[in-house]
Amino acid sequence: MDRKYLMMLAKEYPDIEAVSGEMIKLSAICSLPKGTEYFFSDLHGEYKAFLHLLKSASGMIRSKISLAFSKSMSEEEQDRLAALIYYPSSVLKKMNESGTLTDSWRRLTIYRLITVCQTVSAKYSRSKVRSKMPEGSAFIIDELLHVSEDINRDFYYEKIISTILATETGDEFINDICNLIQAMCIDHLHIIGDIFDRGPRADIIMNELMKYPAIDIQWGNHDISWMGAAAGNTALMANVLRIAISYNSFDVLEIGYGINLRALAVFAAEKYADDPCERFVPHVLDTNKYDPVEISLAAKMHKAIAVIQFKLEGQLLEKHPEYRFDTRNVLSKIDFERMEYVHEGKGYPLLDTVFPTVDPAEPLKLTAEEEELMNVISGSFRHSRMLQEHIKFLYSHGSMYRCYNNNLLFHGCIPFNADGSFRKVNIDGTEYSGRKLLEKINDICIRSYFGTKGTEERNNARDMMWYLWCGENSPLYGKDKMGAFERYFTDAPDVAEEIYNPYYELSQSPEICEMIFEEFGLDSSTAHIINGHVPVKIKDGESPVKAGGRLYVIDGGISKAYQSKTGIAGYTLIYDSHSLNLAQHTPFSEEKMESAPVVTVVEKMPQRVNISDTDMGARIRDRLNDLSCLLRAYRSGEIQEHSDCSCSDADMKFISG
């Protein structure tokens, strides 16, 4: 091994004792069961439902309570304990107000919480459990969790708990241990795309995700839309506003991200003053807490920004004929004399013929007022500190795909041809397919935001973000078109239909999944593909488990906008050391805080999976190999031990020479 590297390692482990101690610790960690991974997809701004799933560990906490207390507590009592663990501050406040918060209740509850905490933390090392403990209560919790067999346990517990109650810190202690139970249940969080759009507050979800120490994100097309908007793509800025307004989500724009909508409101009210904009009335699935907008004005704003978006998209397509996506240059396909939308030579009557800002001679040209409006909007996106902070987090913790513990995670699809071959996509004169296509797109996404400002390379990458949002060959979208214009302006469902890439059908075949595993270098005997993007319609008999258990599609409709179609409220895939489990969500209700998904085992592991069997285990083995080399170097005298962690003169001479 390179001596210079060993000398750098020696600064961290300056003697044989330090090296051997670290090797013993790492070897012990490898023998522990793997941590529990949670996979979520298509959150779509539904912050209340998502936060509840995190707090309840998608039903696993309730399962642990049942495991510990099924013989000593009723189902109702177990539900109440679960609600306390999920929302300790709220439950304690309500009990205090009702006069039911007594020391006898606190005493019994602390005993029960310690039991639950022991159950959820049993497979972790003591150091890991301590690292998640609240600082103020860490010593007490550690003592209660790990009482020595030589000590009278009941007497010791009684003394500690009596002192907690005597010092009137019982509520704080209960709150701390509830939060610890939550923290211990989710070891690693995977978000399989689409955090944004449709729901009320994606910004609150992002704030929560940023608290997690172990998290990765696979970008979805809705995330890419916001990322491109933050990078300066004006067509995607308009798209972000259009979707938010269409779902009455004004709070996320103005309160969450400080996007100034006043200019748009004034513009829309003036230009569409006599237009009822009936086809643009928003879906009201949530009410705005801070920034309510009258529905009639919201409809006008919706139409105004939609028309601007279609203009900007047309401009992009004329700038980039290499996209081969002229079918989406929709305003150029309007016959303004007949007021028809012309598709493949056939005219379809427009249901809305009011276009006060569109010049039939130059339908893609923004008016001077629209230009000024987009300058205001662009400034809001550029200067939104919170938005830019969230987008940077998406980049630092996200990617197009991830291989993790022999599972392949990506949001949408890998483009296929109908014959079962990977589709080749031409980008900048080079054809890419399969894994290389996703990696090329990953580079484009990074360049669009972090590339050198003002360069053609960055500008083209920023433009490409729009195509990645809705393009036919985009792995993030995977349909032949985005039919928004047709749905707004025509009554032709066949023209508006969005046809899926063959991947979505082909991937239900185990043979195709094995082909994909080989492409990404995974062991096909145990690998899984984990997708989002396409809602699973359980009410129509669909299953999230496909290809004989090789593929999991976990977009089941956490978004309220999908629940009437799916019949449920989404899925969580949970991978612990024993099994793969699917948690089937029910619609979130603030009146039933104790509610949790129904968890079903879908695949049992042949034997318990230890850390040594995971990607982390592979990294630990590499580290152990390095430490073994350093240990040999110490024992052979090649490198001298040094307790002050500084290199000797001879070492420095070797390094500099």
Q: Where in the chain are the domains? A: 3-32+613-656, 217-489
pLDDT tens digits, residue range 256-289? 999 999 999 999 999 999 999 999 999 887 777 7
Which whole number is the average pLDDT over 50-74?
92
Q: What is the pLDDT at residue 585? A: 80
Determine the Cα–Cα distance for residues 654 and 657; give it in Å rounded to an integer.
Answer: 5
Nearest Cα neighbor of 413 from 315, 270, 531 is 531
Are the CB atoms for 341 and 333 separated by under 8 Å? yes
For the whole model, what pTM was predicted?
0.92
Instruction: Supply 14's token pair.
Output: 């300056």
Nearest Cα neighbor of 408 from 373, 371, 445, 434 is 434
Determine the Cα–Cα distance for residues 328 and 350; give it in Å rounded to an integer.
Answer: 16
pLDDT tens digits, residue range 149-199? 656 777 888 889 999 999 999 999 999 999 999 999 999 999 999 999 988
Average pLDDT, rounded, for the chain: 91
Percent of the chain with pLDDT over 70: 94
Q: What is the pLDDT at residue 284? A: 84
Which whole number is the average pLDDT over 559-571?
71
Q: What is the pLDDT at residue 522? A: 97
Q: What is the pLDDT at residue 154? A: 78
Are the CB atoms for 209 and 215 separated by under 8 Å? yes
Q: Can you spell out the DSSP letters for 277-341?
A: -GGGPPP-SS--SS----HHHHHHHHHHHHHHHHHHHHHHHHH-GGG--GGG-GGGGEETTTTEE
pLDDT tens digits, residue range 13-52? 999 999 999 999 999 999 999 999 999 999 999 999 899 9
pLDDT tens digits, residue range 76-106? 999 999 999 999 999 999 999 999 999 999 9
Which whole number is the average pLDDT over 626-639?
94
Which whole number is the average pLDDT over 442-457?
96
Q: What is the pLDDT at residue 628? A: 95
Find tokens 């449709």 and name the residue.
198
Q: What is the pLDDT at residue 31? A: 93
